[in-house]
A and B are shown apart, each in its own frame.
Chain A
Amino acid sequence: KQEVTQIPAALSVPEGENLVLNCSFTDSAIYNLQWFRQDPGKGLTSLLLIQSSQREQTSGRLNASLDKSSGRSTLYIAASQPGDSATYLCAVRFLGAQKLVFGQGTRLTINP
């Protein structure tokens, strides 16, 4: 079964720290992987999309990496700010499928 797992479920760090969120998937045959942010009661905001052929993508203070062979992706957030507090979701589109399979999310709190 194709599954996506995110650990930890929750993370709390002081402002200014660099941090890493983890995402793992059970099948290395993926089409792409996407990281989203979700604020409470709101929809999803796409942060980064990594195609199967890519190793990483960067946007501002965010950097996402992809290692298909080990079934892992990481989202690196540099110099964290209280405004980064949200739930971060990892989603994988596996080969041969159109749908996204979501991880359970990591609820991030940045303390001032």
Chain B
Amino acid sequence: GAVVSQHPSRVICKSGTSVKIECRSLDFQATTMFWYRQFPKKSLMLMATSNEGSKATYEQGVEKDKFLINHASLTLSTLTVTSAHPEDSSFYICSALGGLAGGSYTDTQYFGPGTRLTVL
């Protein structure tokens, strides 16, 4: 089946630094990728939707200047948390939608394993 990877799986950084998280679709082309945030014992909150080659669409209340999203190719999207603060500590999950897999079009979202960010 379709596989989505995230790197790194875990990152610890100092307050004020920037952190980049990568999301890759390994065996299919993803026309659209999504970034979610999950607080402990809470559900997933959609942060933004990114389409290859265009600007991301952010959900209400998400700071676009703080959470920079780039979807430079059909297999890679990146989320950069700029000037990170302890309140940015969270579990970040990406998903990928659509594109061709094994010659067929897939219209299902496939999720990455998540990245645990801890800001000290």
Contacts and interface: CB of A to CB of B under 8 A. Distances in A.
Contacts of A34: 108-109
A89 B43 contact: yes
B111 A43 contact: yes
A46 B106 CA distance: 15
B36 to A, nearest CB: 8
Per DSSP, chain B at the interface is strand
Interface residues of A, number: 19
B32 A44 contact: no
Given A44-B93, A49-B108, A102 B43 contact: yes
A95 interface: no
A98 B43 contact: no
Contacts of A93: 109
A42 B111 contact: no
Interface in A80-104: 89, 93, 98-104
